[in-house]
Structure formats: C-alpha cells, structure tokens
Amino acid sequence: MTDLNLEIVTPFGQTYSEKVKSCTVPGALGKFQVLKDHASMLSLVNVGLIKIVEDSGKIRNLSTSGGFCEIDKNEIQIIVESAEFSDTIDVKRAKDAKERAEKRLQSKTTEIDEERAKLALVRALNRLKIAQLR
C-alpha cells in the first residue's frame, strides 16, 4: 500500500480520486511517471494518455485533452479539460469528431479556424487510440 494520492478534475467535476502506486502523465516536455516521494513540480499536460497503476495493481487508462498537473507531498492533482477512461470512450462519437475535423481541414475556406480543427483532430485520434486499450 502506498500513500500517493491522485485527484483528476475536469470542468464537469472530479473524475478520479484514489490512492495509487504510480501515475504516468503526458507532460509538455514528454511523459513522466510519478511515484511515492516524487519531487514537487508543476507541469503542463498535453493531449495524450494518463496511465494509472492503482494500489491493487489494476491499470487504468484515461484519454486527456490537456491541462495542468501539480505534485506536492505525495499528492498529485491533475486539472484537465477532459479525462475519459478507455472503457467509457464513445468510439462512434470519436470517429465522427475525427471525420468532422478532417473535412474542416480539407475545406481550406477562410471561415475555418485551421488550428482549432487540427487540435480537434488530435483529440479525436487520441480518444480512438486510447479506446483500444480497454
């Protein structure tokens, strides 16, 4: 049993709050793993996979679209725009979002915000990839 507490929060509320063995986060400078007694730090979180190893040994995978992570005194707080467990991702919805983003990028009209469409595509592809980790 460890004394490493993980809390993941989105604008919709608390997504996860448990004691864990480790947590791997897609940081702005690359992914990093947090174990008990990790140094205090603050990091941006990129679109990607948050991998949690629970005290029981069970592995949980979450898709995230980015935010912040703070580590201090065996407390991990991750505040992100979204966090979905791999087994709850709506694959059809993610495929539809991917197709919409691809169509926007192909249209090349001036009304399309190209950066926003690219980010939507990256998020949809990430959700589809993590959904396969069920």
Domain containing residue 9: CATH number: 2.60.15.10
Q: What domain range is 104 assigned to?
A: 90-131
Phi, psi of 110 (to 5 degrees): -70, -20
Taking the model in full, what pTM does it have?
Answer: 0.91
Q: Are 76 and 34 in contact (CB under 8 A)?
A: yes
pLDDT at 112: 79
pLDDT at 1: 52
79 and 21 belong to one structural domain: yes
pLDDT in tens, 85-118: 999 999 999 999 999 999 988 987 778 788 999 9
22 and 57 belong to one structural domain: yes
* Number of structural domains found in the chain: 2
- For residue 68, the Cα-to-chain-centroid distance in whole angstroms is 10
23 and 75 belong to one structural domain: yes
pLDDT in tens, 9-55: 999 999 999 999 999 999 999 999 999 999 999 999 999 999 999 99
- For residue 96, the domain's CATH number is 1.20.5.440
Q: Are 55 and 48 in contact (CB under 8 A)?
A: no
pLDDT at 52: 97
pLDDT at 2: 62
Angstrom CA distances, 19 to 22, 35, 37, stand at 9, 11, 13
Mean pLDDT of 67-83: 97
Angstrom CA distances, 27 to 41, 49, 53, 68, stand at 11, 10, 17, 9
